[in-house]
Amino acid sequence: MRRYTIQLCFTLFLTFLGCTTHEKTKETKQEVGTAIEKQSSKPIVISTWNHGVPANETAWQILNQGGTALDAVEQGVRTAEANPEIQTVGLGGFPDREGNVTLDACIMDHNSDCGAVSFLQHIKHPISVARKVMEETPHIMLTGEGALQFALEQGFKKENLLTEASKKAYEEWLETSKYKPVINVENHDTISMLALDENGNLSGACTTSGAAWKMHGRVGDSPIIGAGLFLDNQVGAAAATGLGEAVIRTAGSAMVVELMRQGKSPYDACKEVVERIYALHKNHKDIEYLQVGFIALNKKGEYGSYCLRSGFNFAVKSKLIDNQLTDADFKIQ
């Protein structure tokens, strides 16, 4: 009887060992994006593209000192807006077909309060105007001349945003006037940022000068709550980058958050929405130009990202991650 008991225990041990080894093997085969998002932490900040790295540093200075996620995302993306070398945001942004730099931005806090501006000219920091809309008016979005008038009333300075470098690029484009909506590392149109502070509150911000050489008056997804940015403080936050028209058609960021509400990880939620966008556009004549990417952050501090085609990257900073720039997983090359 004793011998039988020993053999049974040994058999159970081997079975347990085999299951454990199998689980470890299974874990190593997980997709990169899924593995990364296990590194949850708070506070944490995530943003789009390589110019998210310096933006994250600014945001982290606030978060690491116990500041709010709202202050962090506003100040973080202002870093990009003020940098004339980033020709897709704020000062020095590529103009539209008429040679005018027009800006869009939105911001959202943990109470679901939000503010936005679109088609705003002559103001370097549209994200801060968007926050003023949120805090000082009963409205969510102001646009065009109305947004400019409001900004001036709030003390913002009117200035010329067209730098010599962007003007030169515009003049070169005028020689051929070919509208190429390709969204890539040279002309992608957004910096989006999400943050979770030490109190467990989420906020997000999105700011852009829009697609280069766009039609005068065009507004993309960036200032639209639910498309370019969305959050639910009980669930998580999401933001988009890429061709705004494609994001708007699917209410992209809101959809990512709703999928997280249903239990999907940030990575899987981003991936599913990208799959939906691809399904809608795969037979479209301009599919070869289409790029869309999402970042997402849940209430636990887990994050993820996914994009349609290769080339999109995102930056993350927390106490566990030192402003890591990562290439997002993608559906097509």
Residue 287: the pLDDT is 87
- What is the pLDDT, as a whole number, of residue 179? 61
First to last CA, the chain: 63
The rounded radius of gyration (Å) of the Cα atoms in the chain is 22
Q: Which domains does the chain have, with CATH numbers?
A: 38-332 (3.60.20.30)
Nearest CA to 90 out of 61, 47, 51, 58 is that of: 51
How far is the C-alpha of 265 from the C-alpha of 25, rounded, in Å? 21
Quick one: 218 exposed, middle or buried, by C-beta within 10 A (0-12, 13-18, 19+)?
middle
DSSP labels, 84-108? TT-TTSSTT----TTS---EEEEEE
pLDDT tens digit sequence for 116-172: 999 999 999 999 999 999 999 999 999 999 999 999 999 999 999 999 999 999 999
Residue 218 among known ligand-binding residues: yes
pLDDT at 10: 40
Of 309, 312, 313, which Cα lies nearest the Cα of 324? 313
> What 3-state DSSP class applies to 64?
coil
301 annotated as ligand-binding: no
pLDDT, one tens digit per residue, over 25-49 is: 333 333 444 445 556 689 999 999 9
**Identity of the amino acid at 323:** N
Q: What is the pLDDT of residue 37?
A: 55
- For residue 131 the two structure tokens come to 């926050």
| Whole-Å CA distances, 278 to 84, 180, 286 | 33, 19, 12
| Residue 189 confidence (pLDDT) | 66
Determine the pLDDT at residue 7: 47
Q: What is the pLDDT of residue 188?
A: 55
- Does 28 count as an annotated binding residue? no
- Mind telling me the catalytic residues? 190
> What are the E-state strand segments in the chain?
44-48, 103-108, 114-120, 141-143, 191-196, 202-208, 229-232, 236-242, 292-298, 303-309, 313-318, 324-327, 329-332
Decide if 195 contacts 45 (C-beta within 8 A): yes
CA dihedral 15, 20, 24, 30 (to 10 degrees): 80
Determine the pLDDT at residue 289: 83
The residues near 134 (Cβ < 8 Å, ≥ 6 apart) are: 107, 109, 113, 114, 115, 140
d(C-alpha 130, C-alpha 133), whole Å: 5
pLDDT at 288: 84
Residue 332 CA, distance from chain mean position: 20
Q: Is position 241 annotated in a ligand binding site?
A: yes
Residue 18 marked in a binding site: no
pTM for the complete prediction?
0.88
- The answer to whether 66 is annotated as binding is no
Instruction: List helix spans (H) across 242-327.
Output: 244-249, 252-261, 266-281
Nearest to 328 by CA among 26, 23, 52, 42: 52
Which residues in the chain come in under a pLDDT of 70?
1-40, 178-189
